[in-house]
Chains A and B, each alone.
Chain A
Amino acid sequence: MRKKLIATMMAAVMTAGLITGCGSDGGKTTSGGGSSSKGGNETITLKLFSNLPDRKNGQGLVEQKIIDEYMEANKNIKIEVEALDEEAYKTKFKAYAMDDMPDVVSIWGQPSFLDEVLAAGTLAELNESDYSDYKFVEGSLEGFKKNGSLYGLPRNTDIAVFYYNEKMFNDNGWTVPETYDDLLSLSDKINDAGITPVAMDGGDGWPMAIYLTDLAFRIEGPAVADKINEAVAKGDFTDEVFSDATSLLVKSAKAGLFQKGYDSQDYGTAMNLFTNGQAAMFYMGTWESSMATNEDIPKDIRENIRVFVMPSVSGGTAKNTDLAAWNGGGYAVSQGCQNKEEAIKFLNYMYQPDKLSKYGWENGVGLSAQDQTSYTTGNETELQKQIMSLLTNATSMSGTPINDCGPSAFKTVIESEIQNVSNGTTSIDDFLLTIGKSCQ
Chain B
Amino acid sequence: MGSKIAGKKHSPAGKIIVWVVLSIMAVIQIFPLVWLVDFSLASSNEMFTSGLLVMPKKIQWGNYAKAFVDGHFLLYLKNSIIINGLAVLLVLIISIMAAFAVHRMRWKLSGFVKTLLLLGMMIPIHATLLPNYKLYNTLNITDTCWALLIPYVAFSLPQALYLMTGFLDSVPIELEEAAVMDGCGIYRIVFQVVIPLLKPSIATVSIMTFLNNWNEFMMARTYLSSPKWKTLPFSVLEFTGQYSSNYAVQFAVMALTAAPAVIVYIILNKHITKGVAMGAVKG
Q: Footprint of B on A, CB under 8 Å?
A: 2, 5-6, 8-9, 12-13, 16-17, 20-21, 24-25, 27-28, 31-32, 47, 51-60, 80, 82-86, 88, 91-92, 94-95, 98-100, 102, 267-269, 271-273, 275-276, 287-288, 296-297
B242 touches A58 (CB 8 A): yes
A60 touches B48 (CB 8 A): no
Kindly state the separation between the CA atoms of A72 and B48 in the bound complex, as whole angstroms.
42
Q: How far is the CB of B161 from chain A (nearest CB, A)?
A: 13
B246 touches A54 (CB 8 A): yes
Q: How far is the CB of A63 from chain B (nearest CB, A)?
A: 10
B115 at the interface (CB under 8 A from A): no
Q: Collect the chain A residues with CB atoms within 8 Å of residue B239's CB.
A: 53-54
> Given that A80-B226, A85-B237, A95-B130 are contacting pairs, would A24 and B149 also be in contact in the complex, using a CB cutoff of 8 Å?
yes
Q: Which residues of B, 187-232, contact A by the 8 Å Cβ criterion?
A: 187, 221-222, 225-226, 228-229
A98 touches B133 (CB 8 A): yes
Kindly state the separation between the CA atoms of A432 and B227 in the bound complex, as whole angstroms.
45
* Selected A-B contacts with CB under 8 Å, 13 pairs: A20-B93, A25-B146, A53-B240, A80-B226, A85-B237, A88-B221, A95-B222, A102-B225, A268-B244, A268-B245, A269-B48, A276-B48, A296-B43
B226 touches A297 (CB 8 A): no
Kindly state the separation between the CA atoms of A204 and B107 in the bound complex, as whole angstroms.
56
A60 touches B242 (CB 8 A): yes
Q: Collect the chain B residues with CB atoms within 8 Å of residue A13's CB.
A: 93-94, 97-98
B142 at the interface (CB under 8 A from A): yes
Binding-face segment, B25-33, B82-90, B173-181, B274-282 = B82-90
Q: Footprint of A on B, CB under 8 Å?
A: 43-45, 47-49, 70, 82, 86, 89-90, 93-94, 97-98, 101, 105, 107, 129-130, 133-134, 137-138, 142, 144-146, 149, 186-187, 221-222, 225-226, 228-229, 237-247
> Given that A5-B105, A12-B97, A82-B226 are contacting pairs, would A99 and B45 also be in contact in the complex, using a CB cutoff of 8 Å?
no
Kindly state the separation between the CA atoms of A285 and B45 in the bound complex, as whole angstroms.
20
Q: How far is the CB of B142 from chain A (nearest CB, A)?
A: 7
A98 touches B149 (CB 8 A): no
Q: How far is the CB of B41 from chain A (nearest CB, A)?
A: 16
A92 touches B137 (CB 8 A): no
Q: Collect the chain B residues with CB atoms within 8 Å of residue A100's CB.
A: 137, 142
A98 touches B130 (CB 8 A): yes
B93 touches A2 (CB 8 A): no
> Given that A31-B228, A98-B134, A288-B243 are contacting pairs, would A296 and B44 also be in contact in the complex, using a CB cutoff of 8 Å?
yes
Kindly state the separation between the CA atoms of A296 and B47 in the bound complex, as whole angstroms.
12
Q: Collect the chain B residues with CB atoms within 8 Å of residue A267's CB.
A: 243-244
Q: SS class of chain A's interface: helix, strand, loop or mixed?
A: helix
Q: Collect the chain B residues with CB atoms within 8 Å of residue A94's CB.
A: 130
Q: Collect the chain A residues with CB atoms within 8 Å of residue B98's CB.
A: 13
B48 touches A268 (CB 8 A): yes
Kindly state the separation between the CA atoms of A84 and B241 in the bound complex, as whole angstroms.
10
B240 touches A54 (CB 8 A): yes
Q: Collect the chain A residues with CB atoms within 8 Å of residue B245's CB.
A: 54, 268
Partner of B133, one of A12, A95, A297: A95
Q: Collect the chain A residues with CB atoms within 8 Å of residue B149's CB.
A: 21, 24
Partner of B186, one of A5, A57, A102: A5
Q: Collect the chain B residues with CB atoms within 8 Å of residue A58's CB.
A: 241-242
Partner of B48, one of A85, A102, A273: A273
Chain A residue with the shortest CB-CB distance to B241: A54
Kindly state the separation between the CA atoms of A235 and B265 in the bound complex, as whole angstroms.
53
Q: Collect the chain A residues with CB atoms within 8 Å of residue B238's CB.
A: 53-55
Q: Collect the chain B residues with CB atoms within 8 Å of residue A83's CB.
A: 237
Q: How far is the CB of A363 from chain B (nearest CB, A)?
A: 13
A92 touches B222 (CB 8 A): yes
Partner of A60, one of B44, B142, B241: B241
Q: SS class of chain B's interface: helix, strand, loop or mixed?
A: helix
Partner of A82, one of B44, B47, B70, B225: B225
Q: Collect the chain A residues with CB atoms within 8 Å of residue B187's CB.
A: 12
> Given that A9-B186, A17-B90, A296-B45 are contacting pairs, would A52 and B130 also be in contact in the complex, using a CB cutoff of 8 Å?
no
Kindly state the separation between the CA atoms of A127 and B20 in the bound complex, as whole angstroms.
73
Q: Collect the chain B residues with CB atoms within 8 Å of residue A47's CB.
A: 225
Chain B residue with the shortest CB-CB distance to A49: B225
A85 touches B240 (CB 8 A): yes
Q: Collect the chain A residues with CB atoms within 8 Å of residue B94's CB.
A: 13, 16-17
Chain B residue with the shortest CB-CB distance to A329: B242
A24 touches B145 (CB 8 A): yes
Partner of B90, one of A20, A31, A276: A20
Chain A residue with the shortest CB-CB distance to B248: A296
Q: Collect the chain B residues with CB atoms within 8 Å of residue A268's CB.
A: 48, 244-245, 247
Q: Collect the chain B residues with CB atoms within 8 Å of residue A59's CB.
A: 242
B243 touches A24 (CB 8 A): no
Q: Collect the chain B residues with CB atoms within 8 Å of residue A297's CB.
A: 45
Q: Collect the chain B residues with CB atoms within 8 Å of residue A53's CB.
A: 237-241
Kindly state the separation between the CA atoms of A28 and B187 in the bound complex, as whole angstroms.
32
A6 touches B97 (CB 8 A): no
Partner of A16, one of B93, B134, B229: B93
Chain B residue with the shortest CB-CB distance to A95: B133
Kindly state the separation between the CA atoms of A13 and B133 in the bound complex, as whole angstroms.
25
Chain B residue with the shortest CB-CB distance to A298: B45
Q: Collect the chain B residues with CB atoms within 8 Å of residue A20's CB.
A: 86, 89-90, 93
Kindly state the separation between the CA atoms of A131 and B228 in the bound complex, as whole angstroms.
37
> Given that A6-B107, A16-B93 are contacting pairs, would A99 and B137 also be in contact in the complex, using a CB cutoff of 8 Å?
yes
Task: Name which of B149, B222, B241, B242 has the most chain A CB atoms within 10 A of its CB.
Answer: B242
Q: Collect the chain A residues with CB atoms within 8 Å of residue B237's CB.
A: 53, 83-85, 88
- Contacts A2-B107, A17-B93 aside, 18 further interface pairs with beta carbons under 8 A come to A12-B187, A16-B93, A24-B149, A28-B229, A32-B228, A53-B237, A53-B239, A53-B240, A54-B238, A54-B240, A56-B70, A58-B242, A83-B237, A85-B240, A91-B221, A95-B133, A275-B45, A276-B48
Chain B residue with the shortest CB-CB distance to A269: B48
Q: How far is the CB of A270 from chain B (nearest CB, A)?
A: 9
Kindly state the separation between the CA atoms of A297 and B48 in the bound complex, as whole angstroms.
12
Task: Name which of B98, B129, B142, B240 has the most chain A CB atoms within 10 A of its CB.
Answer: B240
Q: How far is the CB of A377 from chain B (nearest CB, A)?
A: 25
Q: How far is the CB of B244 from chain A (nearest CB, A)?
A: 5
Kindly state the separation between the CA atoms of A47 and B89 in the bound complex, as whole angstroms.
34
Kindly state the separation between the CA atoms of A99 and B141 in the bound complex, as whole angstroms.
13
A272 touches B48 (CB 8 A): yes
Q: Which 5 A-B pairs have CB atoms at the shortest separation, nearest pair first?
A: A272-B48, A95-B133, A82-B225, A99-B137, A85-B240
